[in-house]
């Protein structure tokens, strides 16, 4: 199985901050990566797929980048509704696997 290692596991940030979350795959996943946001008691919500493609309805302050084994989710100008847990997931092959999550908390 491909292991997805996310960092950091948590971070504290303020409204307006730029936040960066990274995900490292245990092998090249050829850009087959998605990012999700999850709020307490809710299902994960797809933000980005194929490294940098924004899902419909997702604000443009979210962006993704990377290649090979290293990928990044960036939130520009953090908003109150962005405090949540974020997960990466590869879909290069089966089984798809997820990162362990990054919790973005209020500083």
Partner 1 sequence: QVRLQESGPGLVKPSGTLSLTCAVSGVSIGGTDWWTWVRQSPRNGLEWIGQVYHSGSTDYNPSLRSRVTISVDKSKSQFSLKLTSVTAADTAIYYCARDVGGAPDPWGQGILVTVSS
Q: Give residues in contact with partner 1 (CB under 8 A).
A: 1, 32, 34, 42-46, 49-50, 55, 87, 89, 91, 94-98, 100-101
Q: Between 5 and 77, whose beta carbon lies closer to partner 1?
A: 5
Q: Between 17 and 31, whose beta carbon lies closer to partner 1?
A: 31
Tell me the closest approach of the beta carbon of residue 14 to partner 1, in angstroms. Answer: 27
Tell me the closest approach of the beta carbon of residue 8 to partner 1, in angstroms. Answer: 15
- CB burial of 31-68 (b: ≥16 within 10 Å; e: otherwise) equals bbbbbbbeeeeeebeebbbebbebeeebeeebbbebee
| Residue with token string 């299902």 | 43
Tell me the closest approach of the beta carbon of residue 75 to partner 1, in angstroms. Answer: 18
Q: How far is CA 1 from the centre of its chain?
A: 20
| Residue with token string 């309805």 | 57
Tell me the closest approach of the beta carbon of residue 101 to partner 1, in angstroms. Answer: 7
Q: Between 23 and 78, whose beta carbon lies closer to partner 1?
A: 23
Instruction: Evaluate whether 15 touches 104 at the Cβ level (below 8 Å).
Output: no
């Amino acid at each position: 199985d491909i292991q997805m290692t996310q960092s950091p596991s948590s971070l504290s940030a303020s409204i307006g901050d730029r936040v960066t979350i990274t995900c490292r795959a245990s092998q090249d996943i050829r850009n087959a990566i998605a990012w999700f946001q999850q709020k307490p008691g809710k299902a994960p919500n797809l933000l980005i797929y194929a490294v940098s493609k924004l899902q419909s309805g997702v604000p443009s302050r979210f962006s993704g980048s990377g290649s090979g084994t290293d990928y990044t989710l960036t939130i520009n100008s953090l908003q109150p509704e962005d405090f949540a847990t974020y997960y990466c997931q590869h879909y290069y092959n089966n089984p798809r696997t997820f990162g362990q999550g990054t919790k973005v908390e209020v500083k």
